[in-house]
Structures are given as C-alpha cells and as structure tokens.
Structure 1
Amino acid sequence: MGGLREVATPFMVPGPSGVAIRSRLKHLTGRDEEALRLVGDHLGSLASRDLKARCAAELDHDGEQWARRKQVLTGESSSRWAGSITKASHDQWALARRGRLAHIHSLQAGVRTITHRLSLPPGEKGSKHAPGGYRSKQEWFAKSRRLHVLEDRLQAAQADWQTGVVHVVRGGKQLLNSRHHLEQAQLTEEEWRRRWRAGRRFLQADGESGKRYGNETLRVSPDGEVSIKLPAPLAHLANAPHGRYVLAARVSFAHRGEQWADRVTANRAVAYRIHEDVGRGRWYLTASWTLPTVRTIPLEAARARGLVGVDTNADHLAAWRPDVHGNPVGAPLRFGYDLTGTAGHRDAQVRHALIRLLHWARRHGLAIAVEDLDFTAEKTREKHGRKKWFRKLISGMPVARLRARLVSMAAELGIPVIAVDPAYTSRWGAQHWQKPLTTTTRKTTRHDAAAVAIGRRALGHPIRRRTAPPRTHQSDGCGHRTVQARPSTPGREGHRPRIPGPRTRSVPPGRGANAVDQNAQHRPGRSAEHESWQQDSLPLSL
C-alpha cells in the first residue's frame, strides 16, 4: 500500500463561464452571400497578416506593438474590426502555446517510460505500478531508436517553448493536409478550395455593452434583422445608411432565445460569428456572451440533498445512488450512447445520455458525482505498448466533451456536480462491491461497482466496504448489518457509552458483562445509526 498515490479531496465543479447559441441564416439572396464572402475574405487576409505579426513577436510582444498592429488594421477595416482581429490573434497564439506545452508533457512521459523499460533486461515482468522490460531484443533495439527520435522532438519543442515560437494554420492543419490526399478525403480540388476559403474567412465581432443591441459591428435587432458594418474598402456594397449592409434573412434562436432577447433589448454585450458550411451549402450565425460568476453551494449542502455516482465508459454511463451512509440503494442505472458515425451523431448521442441522467437526478433531487478524468498521459503508445485496443478505447471516450456538456446542462437545471479523484475507483469498487451486490436476479458489473465507489468518495466515505463479523457475533436474524456511520460522528469506532436503565429482566441496570462493548454489533438503534439507544422494560405479564 505504500506505493499508492494520495487521493485528492472532492470539490464542487464551477458552472459554465459563457453561453453560445446558433441559428441558420435562411433565405439569403445571391447578393447577400456574395457580400458575406467578400467581407469575410478581406477580413480573413487581414487576420492572417496580423496573426503572422503576432507570432513573429514571440515573447517580446507588449502593449505598444498591439496598438501599432491595431492602428495598421484600422485603416483597412475599422477600429472595431481591428480590435476583434487582434484579439482573435492573441487567443490563437495563446491556444497554440498551450497545445505546445501539452505536447512537451506527452513527449516527456514517453521518454520516461522508454528509458525505464530500456534499463530492464528483455523479458523481465513488470509490476502493478511500473511496466517491465521489452519482450525481445528486437523490440528493445527499435525502442532505443525511437527514444532518440522523441528526445530530438522534445528538445525542439522545448526550444520553441522557451522562445515563444508557435505553429498555427488558419483554416486548420487537418484541412491543409487533406490537400495532398484528396481521394482519401473524397474531395475534388475545387471542393477543397471552397472549404479552405471558408475556413480562413473572418466574420466575427466582439460585443460591447452600452452600444445599440450590444454590438456595433455585427448587429442583430430583437426582431432578427442582421446588419454588418462594412470595412472601408468595401463601403460601396452598403445598402443601408452609415456604411452598413442589411441581410435579407431574419434570424431567430430556438434555444435560449428569451435570454438573448433580454440582452439585446438592454444593450448588453453579445458577440457574433457568421460562417459558411460548404458541405451543406448553409450559412450560420452564432451568438455568445459571458455569464456572471455564480457561487456554487457548499460541498456539505450538496451531500445533504443526496447524490448519484456516475462512472464514464466508452459506450455508456453507469450510475448508482448511495444513501447518506454510502450504501447503494435501489437498482443500478445505465445510460448508453453510440460513438460511431459522424461527429454530429456522436454529439447527439452524448447529449441524449446526459439529458436522461439529468432528468432522473432532478426528479429525485440529487447531485451528480463524476470522476475528474484526464487521459492526456494515458493515450501514449509508450505506456501501453502493443495494447492498441486499449489506447483506442481510451481515445474514444468523450471525456472533455461529456464534462463540458454535463456542467453546462446541469447548471441550467440547477443540479450540483461534484468531481472526485478517479484513482482506484474501478479497481477498489470491483474488489469491495461487485460481488456483494451481485444476486441471483441481478449481475453487478465492474462499472456499476465503480459508480458506488465514486458516490462513496463524493460523500467522504472510504471505498472499502465494512466487513461482517464472525457468525457467532452476528445478532441480527438475517445476518450482520453493514450500515456506515457518518465521518463526523464522534466515537463511531469506539464503545457505546453506558446508558443507565434496565437492559434485561435478569441483569441489574449497568451490570452486564458486555454492556459497554455492544457498539461493534451495530444493532438497530446503536450509534452507527446516529441515535441514542434505550430499551424499555418488558411487561411482567409476559
């Protein structure tokens, strides 16, 4: 047990910091689409140039350089368009830098694993906490060559990190690489060119509180009218006063439409983005805004209202509700989803499983306890070797997407979410709970037992199940009762205090040989159930 890592304490998951809703721009005319493409292509070229300047500045960038970049862009667009472009460039550079740091951590984990396994003789078996040596000399030699490759990549990545160099592709690296594999991507050169141009367009503007309808550049009125402030070189396209272009389409938001209408009516900031889906031939408008920071309820309050432990798996969510003592009650629940097919189908499957879970939790007034999962270091090929099926299984689990959707959807329904350390939940859950919960009519799976372990950890109980005493010490007619005492109950593992009064008809009050040592029996009414015990005298007529 000395090699086990320390388990972190559970914590309340904060709510989402922003909201994004999307709607389709229907009934656009040919002139509208042409104007959107011209404006997007022009601003996209400015955004590419500004991103190049930001990346060239590396770590030496400061406020004066930002002001100069914005001043250059203002002459070819407007001050507000320039502000949106420079902010997007900063966000893109920061995102690429975070990705570079994650790549460095992945390379370091691979180098450590290979170095450890190369230090062992070939064929040596590993332990539960460390892998063994490679299976053959041939594999040892191949991994020694791979170690040099990873060390070179790590050295180059660390050099880029220290100097602030990032590698960014506007439009996406995946789309760029598909240009060399058009047959595999099932695209023609013209189709790829349209997708590339659509991905590099820039049609997004940040909101501004106090301005009309919360945005002076991309303005959407409460009745759905969309107007765009044209850049200076394209002012001749205006069909409305003050250099604006009004689209023929009217937009309406089916989801959160009332919240959006309240914000634009009060002239509160709303950011908008317009993009084209080339595959479907449609245009979409996305509205987003930030949410005020809401203080979450205390952890003890969430525990008091009850909770359900949820175990995340590759094809389903396993859930089981524990009582306040940590004992599972009722039957286990399973919310399945299918992650095959398109990205839209996978996303819909995750949403459907989550909404069923959330509706069930709301009906019973429960909080949700989940694992704080992060498989960043678990998907490396060096850690799991030839277990490609296991790496594929972990990579296929929608951990980040499920976590983000769960937090946002739970916040709308007012359901607290508790995150627990995922260490040993599956292993200890199966060890202590899978067999006791299996009956002739119910087969408890390893995932169901893990859900019990997650729920107990969220309640502050240890995962280990209280074992029953020997048969001779069991006083209940149906066997030993394994109810759990609260962690805050004083003296829950000690002797029950002596309570004066008659206990039986044959023993005087307080003179029983074992009167002080009955708490370990956990009989009904003892301190394990948080009540004082007192037995009334039996009637003499019996």
Structure 2
Amino acid sequence: MELSDRVAGGGGMAGLREVATPFVADGPAGVAIRSSLKGLTGQDEKVLRLTGGLLGSLASRDLKARCAAGLDRGSDQWARRKRALTDQSSSRWAGSITKATHDQCALAQRGQLAYIQYLQAGIDMIARRLSLPVGAKGSKGSPGGYRSRKEWFAKSRRLRLLQDRLGRERADRDAGRVRVVRGGRKLLRNRHNLQATRLTEAQWRVRWEAERWFLQADGESGKRYGNETMRVSPDGEVSIRLPAPLAGLANAPHGRYALACRVGFRHRGQQWTDRIAANRAVAYRIHFDVERGRWYLTASWQIPPVRTVPLEAARSGGLIGVDTNADHLAAWRLDAHGNPVGEPRRFDYDLSGRAPYRDAQVRHALIRLLHWAKRHRLAIAIEDLDFQAEKTREKHGRRKRFRQLVSGMPVGRLRGRLVSMAAELGITVVAVDPAYTSRWGAQHWQRPLTTKTRKTTRHDAAAVAIGRRALGRPIRRRTQPPPPHRSDVVGHRTVQAASGIPEREETRPRIPGPRTRSIGAGRGAKAGDQCAHNRSGHTAEHEFCHQDSPRSVSRNGWSGGRRRPAGMD
C-alpha cells in the first residue's frame, strides 16, 4: 500500500504541494532501563501494595482538584495542592504526585487539541461531499459526492453529530476542562464488557487497582544516590521513604523500608552506576505486572542532547533509503550520487497479536536494519510520517481495511525507537517529506531497476525515492527527448535502401571519419573492388571475416545480413 502518497501526499499530480526540506532527526533526551524485583517476601509485597494504594488515592484526589481548577494553572494553585498532600504523605511524595498530575493534564490537553482537529477535518470533508451532486465522481485525492440519497441523508445526520461534539470539546477547552481516567479509559470500559475481554470481575478489579497505584519518585541531584524518596544503592539495595500514615511499617532508620531483594541493571548498568556514584538525579518507578505476577523497577534520567552531524556530512558517503510499510521495511543502499548499490533488503515484522509481541517484532526489524547500516557506515533516510489526522473514515470513505491498515502502523513509535537505537550505534537518521515517494518511485525507478534475476517492487522503488530526496537529488528522472532529437528526423541514421532505389547494389560510397569508423581518405585501395570480398571465386584481402551483431552493424553503418571486410575495422 502506498500509504505515504494516499495519506500524506495530498492531491493529484496537477496540484503538487511544496515538499519540505530533509532534516537530521534529533536524538533522544532521556534514558529508561528496567529490572525485575526478584525474591520479594510477603511483607515486602504487602508494604508495596499499601504504599501504592495510599499514594494512588492521593494522586486521584489531586487530579480531581487540578481538573476542577480549570484555567487556574498558576504556581499558587500548584502550591496549595502540594501543601494539602504534604500533611498526608511527605513533601517529596507530594512533589512527585503534583508533577505527575501536571504532566497527565498536559498530555490530556494535547489529546484534546488533536481530537478537535480530527473533528474539524471530518466536518470539512462531509460538508464538501454533501455540497456535490449525488453520484458525482471524484479525482485523485479528492472524493466525489455520495452514491445515493440514502447515504447523503445518513452523512448529513453524522455532520450534525460531529458538529455537536466539536462544540462540546471547544467549550471544554475554553473553560480549561480535561477528562482524564487514572488507570486508563480502555480498562474502565472493559468493566462493562467482561465477557468479551475474558475476565472475571475479580480479575478486572486486580488490574484496575494495580494500574491506579502510585509508586514513582523524581530524582534530586545532590542527594544520596540521586533520589531521597526511592533509593537504590550501588550494591542493589532498594529502600523507600514511607508516607506518614505508614511510618509504623519501617524496618530502616528515618522511616524507610528496605526490600529484601537486590536489583541489578544489565542494560546501561555502568552508566547507572556512574550516575548514582556522583549523586546525580535518577527517577524510579515500581509497578506490578498482573499477568506475569512480577514486580518491576524502572530507572530513568535525562541525558544531554545528542550532537547531530550536519546534513551534508550525512550525505557525503551515501545513505540507506527506508520505506515503511504495514508488514515490512523496504531498504536500498544508495551512493552519494543517488544511484542504487547492491540488492534491496527487506526486514519483515508482524503487527498482529498483543502489544509486547508487536513491540518485539518492531525492535527486531530495526536492529537488523541498524546493523546493516553500521556495517556500511551509512546514515538512514526515513519518511516523516504522521497519520494522526488522516485516519478518519470521512477522508477514506468505505475503505475500512485501508483505514485499519493506516491505524495499525506504528509510525510514531517506529521512528522514535529508530532514532533512539541509532543514537546508541552512532548512526544518523534523516527525515524526509513523504509526499509522492511511492508514486514517483514506481513511475521512474521500478522498471529500470528490474532485471531477469531481480524483481523490484514498488516498495523497493519507494526506498530509492526516499534516499534520493534525502540526498537532495530529484526523484523523477529526465524523460527521453522527442524522436527528431534522438535521430535524423525520426528514422535511423543508416537505414538500408529499399529494393526500388537505383544503384542500391553498387559499391557503397566511402565516408571517412570516426562516425563510420572507416580508415582515412586515400587508403584502402581495395575497398571498392569486389574481388576483395570473401566470396566464392574471388581472392579476399584478408582471410578472416566475421559478421557483426545487429547492434554494431547498425551503429557502424552496415545493413544487416552482409559480411563486413575485416579491413574496415
């Protein structure tokens, strides 16, 4: 599927939009590593559940207070909420809860704005199609009118429905109201459809409570091991500063509880050790996986922005163009001039199944692509795709499978993972505009790159187009000149004379010069002598004669089927 053209490309060839300039993608701004908490005792789990439940209830109250405040987002309102939480927990726990509430509300506001844009796009599309006559045909990238009066009437009702939703969302945004569900709206809705989710009420309740627990604390530079609330020592000991109501459960000085297990980080373990040894800030989060029945500890910290190389430096040695598709990544290596080198590569992944399986498939495909780029020391060019505003059914009509295909592509997550993983290997990622890459790639590169032993697909050709755009080269190739400019007035320069032409059997006139590759004037006295040819009854000037291929004969001015004297070479 040419998603980059159908979704991101815009209209037809008559009204091409301006293509954005390629740019080097910024590297990651943070790092997160995870390890399991093995060997927890029953008392440890009890303390974690009680602490998570207490802090989770405080986080819910703080979120409710923040949503009720509306447009009152000043520092005074934030300080009042923090003081109210400090009496029931501690100052540091209150700071972590209020910061998490702030981040969650900011995310909800961004989602609210995206939903408003989604509704407006659907309203504009329906209004345009309703204004067209019933049955009117559309063009490329622009659908026509609706097929029947029945469909027209149904869409007019949907238009009013979307307008009402848009009005409510805009009123909420103007009033500063956001709707957030701690634990997830999807899990909340599953409560009313337990049979479809294959869960009992007790199982759902365990998941719901685990998702609403709050066990995370921000780091503090200058404090011991970078975090005063949740501390992990270099030898792996994990200790938690308990809230005031649970201070009686402490088993360590200063109201702390130390877990019986030890934790270690295999991935980036040395970086984490160096950071806590210098007492630099490290944030921790403890969460419980209900399905596996395991506890996990996640450590995260900020890193300085990765210094990206200039775009010209990334182009210097060529790069690898990558086309993102629903089930694979199509890649082709290009040199600095934009010419494909070697054979195309395909990195498959399967996006069916559950989220952990899909995530593992994407990571496996990306690591194979990165290892290939690392081996050739090349940058990677990928499309800057964003399907968030293009998944509406109003834009793509009845093509339900196509809409599902677009919605299922993890373009944002894939690019984020690619940039993060490439930064670790020192590989540069160049993002390009996705407009018309598949269309022009298939039009100009699929057929020339197809051979008897290689079948070039549209996705392979799109990878070439993406790479050429990242290199600053034009995707579309030069068309052939008109026939009169390719030869002597449409015909070949050396056309054999017809049978009715006089003197066609006479000696061919000599035309010296490099065009016919003949010898110079005044040489080869036997050129016009019929005895010089290798024929029965005549002596030849040279014993060895050969017949040229049709291509060489035509190029050298000899008609097909005749023997050419060796002296004319």
Q: Name the TM tier (shorter chain).
A: 0.7 to 0.9
CA 1:146–1:472 in structure 2 vs 1: closer, same or farther (change >3 Å)? closer
Q: Structure 1, residues 417-453: CA drift from partner, whole Å, max 9, x if none?
A: 0000000101111111111111111111110010000
Equivalence for 2:161 = 149
Aligned residue among 102, 123, 145 for 2:135: 123
Aligned residue number for residue 43 of structure 1: 55
Q: Distance in 2 between matches of 1:161 and 1:440?
A: 60
Q: 2:150 — aligned with what?
A: 138
Deviation at 1:94, TM superposition (A): 0.3
- 2:99 is equivalent to residue 93 of structure 1: no
The question of whether the paired residues in 2 share the 8 Å contact of 1:171 and 1:199 is answered with: yes
Query: Secondary structure at the residue paired with 1:287?
Result: strand
Secondary structure of 2:445's counterpart equals: helix
The answer for the alignment partner of 1:29 in structure 2 is 41
1:214 aligned partner: 226
Cα distance, 1:58 vs structure 2: 1.4
Q: Does 1:160 align with 2:184?
A: no
Q: Give deviations 1:478-508, integer Å, cap 9, x for gaps.
A: xxxxxxxxxxxxxxxxxxxxxxxxxx999xx
Q: 2:417 aligns with which of 405, 409, 413?
A: 405
- Residue 321 of structure 1 deviates from its aligned partner by 1.2
Q: Distance in 1 between matches of 2:273 and 2:52?
A: 26
CA shift, 1:206, in A, is 0.1
* Bigger CA radius of gyration: 2
Partner of 1:252: 264
C-alpha separation in 2, matches of 1:427 and 1:306: 23
Shift of 1:466: 2.9
One-letter amino acid matched to 1:45: S
Q: 1:419 to 1:131 in 2, by over 3 A?
A: same
Q: Which residue of 2 aligns with 1:347?
A: 359
Shift of 1:295: 2.4
Matching residue of 1:83: 95
**Counterpart of 2:276?**
264
Q: Which residue of 2 aligns with 1:499?
A: none
Unaligned runs of 5+ in 1: 476-503, 507-541
Name the amino acid aligned to 2:302: T
Q: Does structure 2 conserve the Cα–Cα contact (< 8 Å) formed by 1:21 and 1:256? A: yes
Give the distance between the partners of 2:101 and 2:25, measured in 1 at CA.
Answer: 30
Q: Distance in 1 between matches of 2:432 and 2:167?
A: 35
1:70 aligns with 2:82: yes
Q: Which residue of 25, 45, 55 maps to 2:67? A: 55
Aligned AA (2:458): R
Please say if residues 230 and 244 of structure 1, whose CA atoms lie closer than 8 Å, have aligned partners that are also in contact: yes
Give, as a single letter, the amino acid of the residue that structure 1 aligns with 2:163: E
| One-letter amino acid of the counterpart of residue 443, structure 2 | Q
Structure 2: distance between partners of 1:298 and 1:185: 50
Is 1:457 aligned with 2:469?
Answer: yes
Q: 1:236 aligns with which of 219, 224, 248?
A: 248
Are residue 176 (structure 1) and residue 195 (structure 2) matched? no
C-alpha separation between the residues in 1 aligned to 2:147 and 2:448? 38
* Aligned 1:108-507 pairs, distance under 5 A: 108-468=120-480
**Equivalent pair of 2:28/2:306 in contact (CA under 8 Å):** no
**C-alpha distance in structure 1 between counterparts of 2:406 and 2:306, whole Å:** 33
Q: What amino acid maps onto 2:375 in structure 1?
A: R
What are structure 2's unaligned runs of at least 5 residues?
1-12, 488-516, 521-568
List 4+ stretches of structure 1 deviating above 6 A: 470-475
Structure 1-normalised TM-score? 0.86
Answer with 33-42 or 464-473: which moved more. Answer: 464-473
The whole-number CA distance in structure 2 between the counterparts of 1:81 and 1:60 is 23
What is the deviation of 1:327? Answer: 1.4
Whole-Å separation in 1 of the counterparts to 2:357 and 2:293:
19
- Residues 139-193 of structure 1 show CA distances to partners (whole Å, capped at 9, x for unaligned) of 1110010000000001111111111110000011111111111111111111111
Give a deviation string over 1:30-70, Cα, whole Å, max 9, x none: 00000000001110111011111111111122111111111
Contact kept? 2:318, 2:337, Cα under 8 Å: no
Counterpart of 2:233, as a letter, is: S
My pick for the range that moved more, 368-377 or 437-446, is 437-446
Distance 1:339 1:28 in 2: 35
How far apart are 1:324 and its partner, in Å? 1.4
- Name whichever of 462-471 and 37-46 sits farther off: 462-471
Could you tell me how far apart the structure 1 residues matched to 2:14 and 2:328 are? 34
Maintained 8 Å contact 2:317/2:335: no
Contact 1:367 1:417 in 2 (8 A): yes
Query: What is the TM-score of this pair, normalised by structure 2?
Result: 0.82
Aligned to 1:526: none
| AA at the equivalent of 1:183 | Q
RMSD across aligned C-alpha pairs, in angstroms? 1.9
Whole-angstrom distance in 1 between the partners of 2:413 and 2:213:
26
- Paired with 1:194 and 1:342, the residues of 2 have a C-alpha distance of 20
1:512 aligns with none
Number of aligned positions between the proteins:
481
Aligned partners of 1:306 and 1:365 also within 8 Å: no
Give the letter aligned to residue 78 of structure 1: S
Q: Deviation per CA, 1:491-535: give whole Å up to 9, x if none.
A: xxxxxxxxxxxxx999xxxxxxxxxxxxxxxxxxxxxxxxxxxxx
Q: CA deviation at 1:399?
A: 0.6
Specify the code of the residue in structure 2 equivalent to 1:269. Answer: A
* 2: CA distance, partners of 1:472 / 1:412: 56
Partner SS for 1:434: coil
Give the distance between the partners of 2:486 and 2:135, measured in 1 at CA.
50
What amino acid is the match of 2:386?
Answer: D
- Displacement after TM superposition at 1:462 (Å): 1.0
Deviation at 1:294, TM superposition (A): 2.5
Q: Paired residue for 1:105, among 85, 108, 117?
A: 117
Distance 1:275 1:150 in 2: 39
In 1: Cα distance, 2:485 partner to 2:163 partner: 62
Residue 320 of structure 1 aligns to a residue in which SS?
A: strand
Map Cα deviations across residues 302-339 of structure 1 (whole Å, 9 max, x no partner).
00132100000000000011111111111111000111
Quote the Cα distance in structure 2 between the aligned partners of 1:205 and 1:362.
37
Q: CA deviation at 1:273?
A: 0.3
Structure 2 CA distance for aligned equivalents of residues 351 and 471 of structure 1: 52
CA distance in 1 between counterparts of 2:128 and 2:68 reads: 39
Quote how far apart the aligned CAs of 1:21 are: 0.8
Retained in 1: the 8 A contact 2:306–2:423? no
For residue 500 of structure 1, what is the aligned residue in structure 2? none
- DSSP-derived class of the 2:285 partner: strand
Q: Quote the sequence identity (%).
A: 75
- Post-superposition offset of 1:2: 4.9
- For residue 141 of structure 1, what is the amino acid of its counterpart? F
